[in-house]
């Protein structure tokens, strides 16, 4: 009759490579003996070698917490660490994070499991290690998901600013590949936690260069977020000076993040058909600074704000000191753009747009800004008075008359041919 431990080990062998939660429940609810079987394999060795990728890391974590030794060797002479590295090398993109996590765990567990340390001390260090590795692996698995998971993770936990075996830190992963809808928020949180913005990728590119590339390649829906990331990294590099105190750097980073967050929120709400942009400028002073396209918040409001709220947004921006003495990249002044917009709106938007035009005109006077004089239209020449034009006109009429005549002749020819064909034979 099998003992309880033998039954547990048999169940472990039967569930270790199954794609469900059975083996995790098994090791969570029961402590397995760290003894090699007839083939010389312990439960930890089996988990490292063949556990299902979806649950391998959790099983390895639990077995190490139960005291499984990480310095054993397989029958072929390979160590557990060597087998873990092989698995990480040959794993696909979906299993990569977990396989690397297992390698890191085994590597550090070997260092911690020192006979000179007390058992409770080893358990405390292992717990701390597992918590950190779990955070890193979870971050890797959620950073590019189209949901709030990665942001919640970095908001509630400090992710160590350490490069992985590929030389990538969490900030580098967020800048390079986080989901566009949450990338800016994740980058903000990591910078607040002290992540360095001056690191380089394995290919030699800096964080700033990668952020710039991403901003250039992003579509219209992702543009404001990716530009915000570029701006953040650019300024964070300047702030993170070794000569500054840590608390001073943190305060400056926080101030920077608040400003960038407001700018991005403005860009994302200015053309929405609701009260969002108005509330934003009412509650916050938005810096009157041009972005990388040369547009200030006032210029964006004049050009593209939702018609029903545009005048109110423009009025608040002007009260906050926004300047109208700016030119759009195409050379047009703010007054020209707002007048053009006023001439193109429908009957429901006309009153609000007129108010906006009036606000800009008054601001021109208040800020002593001269409107560009309207360019005089060149005198139109009477083309019909030129011989060439008359000749061209006459030629055109002649061509049309010739076509009509030809059409009539063709019709008559067809009729004649038809009559001949239908004439009865004698």
Domain 271-373 annotated CATH 1.25.40.20: yes
pLDDT at 200: 92
pLDDT at 171: 94
pLDDT at 157: 85
Q: Which long-range contacts (C-beta less than 8 Å, at least 24 apart) are formed by 278-284?
A: 278/309, 278/312, 278/313, 278/316, 281/313, 281/316, 281/317, 281/320, 282/316
Lowest mean pLDDT across 61-65, 309-313, 369-373? 369-373
pTM recorded for the entire structure: 0.51
Looking at the chain, the whole-number percentage of residues with pLDDT higher than 70 is: 81
Tokens of 216: 């250039």
Looking at the chain, the whole-number percentage of residues with pLDDT higher than 90 is: 19
Condensed to tens digits (0 to 9), the pLDDT of residues 289-332 reads 888 788 899 999 888 888 888 888 999 999 989 999 999 989 89
Q: How high is the mean pLDDT of the chain? A: 80
pLDDT bucket at 62, cuts 50 / 70 / 90 = confident
Phi, psi at residue 73, to the nearest 5°?
-120, 145
pLDDT bucket at 377, cuts 50 / 70 / 90 = very low
DSSP 375: P
Q: Bigger pLDDT: 136 or 361?
A: 361
What CA–CA distance (Å, rounded) separates 18 from 245? 52
Asked if the model's pLDDT at residue 426 lies above 70, the reply is no
Average pLDDT over residues 242-250: 66
pLDDT bucket at 179, cuts 50 / 70 / 90 = confident
CATH of domain 1-142: 1.25.40
pLDDT at 125: 73
Average pLDDT over residues 367-388: 54
Condensed to tens digits (0 to 9), the pLDDT of residues 75-114 reads 999 999 999 999 988 887 767 777 888 888 888 888 777 6
User: Among residues 52, 29, 61, 68, which one has the least CA distance to residue 131?
Assistant: 61
Tokens 């840590």, residue located: 246
Dihedral sign computed on CA atoms, order 74, 78, 82, 86: negative
pLDDT at 305: 83
pLDDT bucket at 422, cuts 50 / 70 / 90 = low
Q: Where in the chain is the domain with CATH 1.25.40.20?
A: 271-373
pLDDT at 389: 40
Tokens of 101: 């996590």
Topology (CATH level 3) of domain 145-269: 1.25.40
Tokens of 227: 């530009």
């Amino acid at each position: 009759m099998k003992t309880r431990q033998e039954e547990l080990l048999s169940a472990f062998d039967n569930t270790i490579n199954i794609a469900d939660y059975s083996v995790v429940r098994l090791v969570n609810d029961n402590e397995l003996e760290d003894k090699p079987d007839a083939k010389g394999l312990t439960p930890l060795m089996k988990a490292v070698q063949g556990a299902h990728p979806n649950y391998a890391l959790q099983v390895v974590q639990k077995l190490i917490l139960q005291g499984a030794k990480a310095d054993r060797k397989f029958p072929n002479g390979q160590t557990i660490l060597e087998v873990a590295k092989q698995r990480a090398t040959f794993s696909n993109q979906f299993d990569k994070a977990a396989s690397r996590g297992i390698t890191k765990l085994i590597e550090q567990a070997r260092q911690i499991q020192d006979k000179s340390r007390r058992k409770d001390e080893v358990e405390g260090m292992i717990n701390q290690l597992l918590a950190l590795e779990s955070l890193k692996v979870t971050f890797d698995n959620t950073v590019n998901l189209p949901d709030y998971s990665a942001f919640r993770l970095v908001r509630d936990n400090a992710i160590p600013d350490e490069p992985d075996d590929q030389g990538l830190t969490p900030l580098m992963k967020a800048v390079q590949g986080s989901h566009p809808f949450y990338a800016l928020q994740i980058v903000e949180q990591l910078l607040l936690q002290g992540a360095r913005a001056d690191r380089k990728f394995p290919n030699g590119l800096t964080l700033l260069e990668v952020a710039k590339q991403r901003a250039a390649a992003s579509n219209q829906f992702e543009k404001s977020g990716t530009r915000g990331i570029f701006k953040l990294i650019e300024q964070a590099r300047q702030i993170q000076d070794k000569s500054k105190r840590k608390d001073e750097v943190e305060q400056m980073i926080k101030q920077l993040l608040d400003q960038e967050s407001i700018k991005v929120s403005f860009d994302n709400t200015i053309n929405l058909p609701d009260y969002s942009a108005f509330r934003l400028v009412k509650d916050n002073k938005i810096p009157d600074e041009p972005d990388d396209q040369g547009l200030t918040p006032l210029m964006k409001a004049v050009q593209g704000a939702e018609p029903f709220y545009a005048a109110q947004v423009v009025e608040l921006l002007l009260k906050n000191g926004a300047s109208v003495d700016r030119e759009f990249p195409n050379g047009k002044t703010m007054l020209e753009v707002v007048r053009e917009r006023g001439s193109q709106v429908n009957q429901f938007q006309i009153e609000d747009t007129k108010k906006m035009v009036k606000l800009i005109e008054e601001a021109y006077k208040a800020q002593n800004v001269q409107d560009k004089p309207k360019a005089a239209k060149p005198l139109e020449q009477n083309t019909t008075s030129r011989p060439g034009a008359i000749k061209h006109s006459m030629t055109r009429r002649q061509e049309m008359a010739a076509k009509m005549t030809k059409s009539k002749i063709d019709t008559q020819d067809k009729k004649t041919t038809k009559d001949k064909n239908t004439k009865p034979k004698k």
